């Protein structure tokens, strides 16, 4: 009987765990991704990106990051949020998703926010712009609303074509 009580307590701790999100902006909206997927944040150097022929518009190209070739995805283009404007606040968030390094261009990085499960609401169905399955939910902090993106699912989605079959299989395991 004691092991059951221990399991219940363990489940309770897991579901009530506070999770940290790196928040960033795209246009007027604020988004969040799991901080544990973030490897580093760099200024966006448009000239350093090597364009790849026949790649989707949202894939800006690749960069050489200390000997690793990293694909760069412009999230403003990916989410159809208008023409991107690159300025001194534009950054690349370098992610480590399922053993694959990927960079995503965002308008700016805000901060790191800790959210409890009570602060996260289920994501509504948003139609074709963004599949609700790609969202963790909507986070609320004071009067702010954060769109919480499941960056692993997004980067592994077939339309992104950023993960090879082995990485995708490993992600599902």
Grade residue 163 by pLDDT with cuts at 50, 70 and 90. Answer: low
Q: What is the pLDDT of residue 14?
A: 46
Q: What is the pLDDT of residue 168?
A: 45
Q: Which fold has domain 19-172?
A: OB fold (Dihydrolipoamide Acetyltransferase, E2P) (2.40.50)
Length of the chain, in residues: 173
Residue 10 has pLDDT above 60, yes or no: no
DSSP state of 84: -
pLDDT digits (tens, 9 = 90+) for 29-53: 999 999 999 999 999 988 889 999 9
User: What residue segments make up the domains of the chain, in order of their start?
Assistant: 19-172
Q: What is the pLDDT of residue 124?
A: 76
pLDDT digits (tens, 9 = 90+) for 14-34: 456 899 999 999 999 999 999
Contacts 24+ apart (CB under 8 A), 59-65: 59/162, 60/105, 63/92, 63/103, 65/94, 65/101, 65/103
For residue 70, what is the enclosing H or E element?
strand 68-74
pLDDT digits (tens, 9 = 90+) for 54-93: 999 999 999 999 999 999 999 999 888 888 889 999 999 9
pLDDT digits (tens, 9 = 90+) for 108-158: 999 999 999 999 998 877 665 566 778 889 999 988 899 999 999 888 887
Residue 11 has pLDDT above 60, yes or no: no
Residue 5 has pLDDT above 70, yes or no: no
Q: What is the pLDDT of residue 126?
A: 61
């Amino acid at each position: 009987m004691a092991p059951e009580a221990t399991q219940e307590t363990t489940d309770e701790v897991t579901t009530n765990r506070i999770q940290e999100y790196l928040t960033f902006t795209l246009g007027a909206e604020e988004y969040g991704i799991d901080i544990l997927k973030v490897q580093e944040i760099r200024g966006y150097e448009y000239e350093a990106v090597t364009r790849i022929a026949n790649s989707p518009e949202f894939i800006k190209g690749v960069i050489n990051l200390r000997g690793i070739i990293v694909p760069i995805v412009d999230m403003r283009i990916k989410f159809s949020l208008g023409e991107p404007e690159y300025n001194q606040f534009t950054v690349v968030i370098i992610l480590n998703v399922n053993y694959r390094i990927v960079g995503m261009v965002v308008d700016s990085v805000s901060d790191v926010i800790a959210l409890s499960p009570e602060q996260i609401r289920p994501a509504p169905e948003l139609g074709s712009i963004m599949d609700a399955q790609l969202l963790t939910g909507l986070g609320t902090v004071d009067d702010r609303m954060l769109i919480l993106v499941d960056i692993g699912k997004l980067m592994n989605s077939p339309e992104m074509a950023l993960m090879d079959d082995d990485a995708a299989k490993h992600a599902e395991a």
